[in-house]
Amino acid sequence: METTPNNRSKREWEKLQANAGNGLLDRRAFLRGGAAMAGAMMGYTFVGSAAAEPLADDAWSKAPGNIVPAYGAPSRFEKNVVRTLSNPNSEPRTSHARTPHHLLNGTITPNGLHFTISHAGNPDIDPDKHRLVIHGLVKRPLVFTLDALGRYPMVSRMTFVECGGNSAPFFSKEPIQASVQALHGLASCAEWTGIRLSTLLEETGVDPKAKWLIAEGADAPALSRSVPITKALDDAMIALYQNGERLMPGNGYPMRLLLPGWEGNMNVKFLRRIKLVEQPAMSYYEARTYAPILPGGKAYQFYFLQEVKSFITHPSPGMMLKEPGFYEISGVAYSGNGRISKVMVSADRGQSWAQAALQEPVHSKAFTRFRVPWRWDGGPGVLQSRAWDEAGNVQPTRAQIVAARGETTKVPPVTGFPSQHYNGITTWAIERNGEVKHVYA
Ligand SMILES: Nc1nc2c(c(=O)[nH]1)N[C@H]1C(S)=C(S)[C@@H](COP(=O)(O)O)O[C@H]1N2
Ligand SMILES: [Mo]
């Protein structure tokens, strides 16, 4: 059991695969090591050596199972896999529901777990009564029903949506002890299907004077945001489907503006109006919430991109490593600028780095799952991930972000304080007892 096929000792073999300090292994170690690597894993017993008879018949193996429902729901044993709610009693204020990244894997966020921010609850929209109007600086103003939209050619794409205020706790002077769900839960990724906005603008025609559009929702705040016409003609979409089914009520049913890679707030849900104009509207959200003051006194306004970012989901705070041995470090990386090109992982507070494997296919402006094998020796460890995108951007350190944008002693997000667009490195400390803690490097 202690030797590999080429007769090296397990420890020697591990050393051969070492890629960076404190036990990080080569991302191809599983492919190269095969059975030897598996033999070094913890957590299973061998048939024959185990005391219990393998494959004893439990009750579910002896009788017919439950009814097969018309619409499926997860196993009753998965009840803890839920979003966390900031406004469970629906008081008159913003409701946040955060994605449990630590309980998911892969790159797609299931619809029931996609994060939601609704500033006045989710409207109960009758799709037959809903209309989308495109007017302003167009040649032919048009009104679309959902049925009419359904007859246009559709496209599907993977993309993430991330609130500009996601990860706001990282602007706090002291690291806030919370789960990855609490810290980074306002970002999710889905396959969206709908009609390119450019297709509809071909129908209406665009007056050359039009430089912006104002998108408006049908919910009570009539949330509106100004969007440059260049984005509208690039990859903007009127999304009708989310992971194959109609949009969830919390994600914009029956239609939303999808601006791949751009600030969540601009992805107007319950979309009812697109008005082409010459100047931005200076609407509430672009003039107030998404215009925090920079250390130099200027407003940080009209920045649209969600820039290159990554964080480790496994392991993450709240988890316990039960014993030393092999673990897979994994997480998500994404960039509003395009594809992720590289993710590096460190287990020694950034002194040395190992390249992580990227799960194929790597989609532009979408979650990319990265993985790297790690042998935890039981000592302290400090885990970090750092992502690069195909446009050559690299994820900044927290110190770099704080130098440019400031930090706060209040608990972010606080209007007027830095709280927007944190894409710096996240650091998890592994303590000797196996606990995972949030720290600053
Ligand atoms: N009409 C409308 N659009 C909206 C919102 C809203 O409350 N009403 N919330 C915005 C905010 S702040 C964000 S971050 C994203 C979140 O999208 P999601 O709820 O589908 O995840 O939607 C944006 N679009
Ligand atoms: Mo947001």
Q: Which domains does the chain have, with CATH numbers?
A: 132-167+188-289 (3.90.420.10)
Q: What spacing in Å lies between the alpha carbon of 256 and ligand 2's midpoint? A: 14
Band of pLDDT at residue 6, cut at 50, 70 and 90: very low
| Contact present, 236 and 251 (Cβ < 8 Å) | no
Give the total residue count for the chain: 441
Kindly identify the ligand whose nearest atom is closest to the C-alpha of 221: 1
Band of pLDDT at residue 44, cut at 50, 70 and 90: low
Q: What spacing in Å lies between the alpha carbon of 189 and ligand 1's midpoint? A: 14
| Contact present, 123 and 221 (Cβ < 8 Å) | no
| Contact present, 405 and 295 (Cβ < 8 Å) | yes
Ligand 1 atom with minimal separation from the 248 CA: 20
Percent pLDDT > 90 in the chain is 80
Q: What spacing in Å lies between the alpha carbon of 322 and ligand 2's midpoint? A: 37
- Which residue CA neighbors atom 18 of ligand 1 most closely? 116
Q: Is the pLDDT of residue 333 over 50?
A: yes
Band of pLDDT at residue 35, cut at 50, 70 and 90: low
Mean predicted lDDT score pLDDT of the chain: 92
Kindly identify the ligand whose nearest atom is closest to the C-alpha of 187: 1
- Which residues in 282-296 are b (16+ Cβ under 10 Å) and which e? ebebbeebbbbbeee
pLDDT tens digits for 82-129? 999 999 999 999 999 999 999 999 999 999 999 999 999 999 999 999
Of the listed ranges 84-98, 177-191, 413-427, the least confidently predicted one is: 413-427
Q: What is the mean pLDDT of residues 278-306?
A: 88
User: What does the alpha-carbon distance between residue 144 and residue 368 come to, in Å, rounded to a whole number?
Assistant: 35
Q: What spacing in Å lies between the alpha carbon of 28 and ligand 2's midpoint? A: 38
User: What does the alpha-carbon distance between residue 287 and residue 94 come to, in Å, rounded to a whole number?
Assistant: 18
Of the listed ranges 1-5, 288-292, 411-415, the least confidently predicted one is: 1-5
CA distances from 258 to 58, 194, 214, 348, 369 (A): 48, 9, 14, 39, 22
Structure tokens at 320: 């316990």
Ligand 1 atom with minimal separation from the 119 CA: 7
Of 421, 312, 306, nearest to 364 (Cα)?
306
Q: How many CA atoms lie within 13 A of 167 on its CB side?
A: 23
Of the listed ranges 195-204, 281-290, 385-394, 431-440, the least confidently predicted one is: 281-290
Ligand 1 atom with minimal separation from the 222 CA: 1
CA distances from 435 to 319, 322, 329, 380, 381 (A): 7, 9, 15, 10, 10
Of the listed ranges 6-10, 17-21, 231-235, the least confidently predicted one is: 6-10
